[in-house]
Amino acid sequence: MGPSVAAQDIEAGKALLQSLIGGVVKTRASDVHLRAGSSPFIRVDGRLTKVPGVTLAPQMVEVLLTLTSARLPQDFGAETFEFSFEQPGIVRFRGHAFRESGHWAISLRSIPPSVPTFHELRLPPVVKTLCEVQPGLTLITGPTGSGKSTTAAAMLRAMAMSESLHVVTVEDPVEYTLHETPSCISQREVGRDTASFASAARAAFREDPDVIFIGEIRDHEALEVALQAAESGTAVLSTFHTATAVKTIQRVVSMCSTEEQAHIRARLADVLRAVVSQRLLPKRGTKGRVVCCEVMLNNFTVKDCIRDAAKTQAIPGVLERAADQQMQTFDKNLVALVREGLVAQEVGLSYAVAPNDVRRLLNVPGLVG
């Protein structure tokens, strides 16, 4: 490939990238997928749509990867890497590059240029109370694409605005840039500033932190560091790819050996502040999606359910009975969203954990099963 061809490819890549960014901003797309031999795809309101009129050659995908990751092809590595990319003042992207069928492919997750407010996110009021900086571990959970990072960023910004704190984040990659607050904020990126979540979080102990955010607890080592930080009196925030509080507790326990599990349950019961599990549901009659949450706060009854494996499955019932303590099940929030007209009834029923219970609450005939 000669220099003139390379220059032409770069210019063509820049033009295509600007076109894709324009489409993301216009449609408020959440994701962009770029594959060799295929048209680009964008995800809008949860639906994947093909971008017509473009087929990406392998060379063009590499050009786009160079432009977005700021790496030359010889620096891409062997299999996969994470990166971030920003169009200043317009949009940021969290990028994931990987090999498939012998070629590079890219997945981009769009991130708004500024952290959304609690009002914009329509999060339950109790989530804002969790931003009061206290020792302990708060977990934001949900499937991929459920808005965990956005909720965490909103919480971190609220903490940083409340008083002068030292907030240390460890992310892969850094998504929202937290600035213009009274606090000192240190944002570290795995692969750029540190080797792993666990090593950076452990180093944070020596950095006088008030708040530590671990982007994701992926392994036993990161879990151990998070628990130690919470036990030492630090406010710790992190995320899990789990759908409910029960599954989150089970996931934490499963990261430990059988011999450790009783001990880890006791430690978790002592330091856990809350689990907020969320999903994004399509809005009724309009574009966009709305957050639906399960919220578990760690009171005496919940502590008992965490410590005793035989009682963990009883947690949903505890949430049902603790509405006066600002706890809620996913289905309770779902019913409220349907009643407010934000989510269509048929959509709500399709997402319900217990569809028949939701039918009864909404007075919908025809119980299932």
Measured distance CA(148)–CA(288) in Å, rounded: 16
The structural domains of the chain, ordered by start, are 3-111 (3.30.450.90), 118-328 (3.40.50.300)
Return the amino acid letter for 298: N
Q: What angle do CA 79, 72, 100 make, to 5 degrees?
A: 30
What is the tens place of the pLDDT at every residue in 129-176?
999 999 999 999 999 989 999 999 999 999 999 999 999 999 988 888
3-class DSSP assignment, residue 143: coil
**Nearest Cα to 45, choosing from 366, 240, 280?**
280
Does residue 211 contact residue 185 with C-beta atoms inside 8 Å?
Answer: no
Residue 368 is predicted with a pLDDT of 61
User: What residues in the chain have per-residue pLDDT under 50?
Assistant: 1-5
Measured distance CA(27)–CA(18) in Å, rounded: 14
Measured distance CA(180)–CA(175) in Å, rounded: 16
3-class DSSP assignment, residue 293: strand
Residue 71 is predicted with a pLDDT of 81
Residue 157 is predicted with a pLDDT of 96
Residue 114 is predicted with a pLDDT of 84
Does residue 263 contact residue 238 with C-beta atoms inside 8 Å?
Answer: no
Residue 335 is predicted with a pLDDT of 96
pTM of this prediction?
0.86
Residue 359 is predicted with a pLDDT of 93
Residue 5 is predicted with a pLDDT of 41
Q: What angle do CA 48, 52, 53 make, to 5 degrees?
A: 155
Does residue 47 contact residue 35 with C-beta atoms inside 8 Å?
Answer: no
Can you read off the two tokens belonging to residue 296?
A: 């578990």
Residue 1 is predicted with a pLDDT of 40
Residue 369 is predicted with a pLDDT of 56
CA–CA distances in Å: residue 358 to residues 136, 150, 316, 332: 33, 28, 14, 8
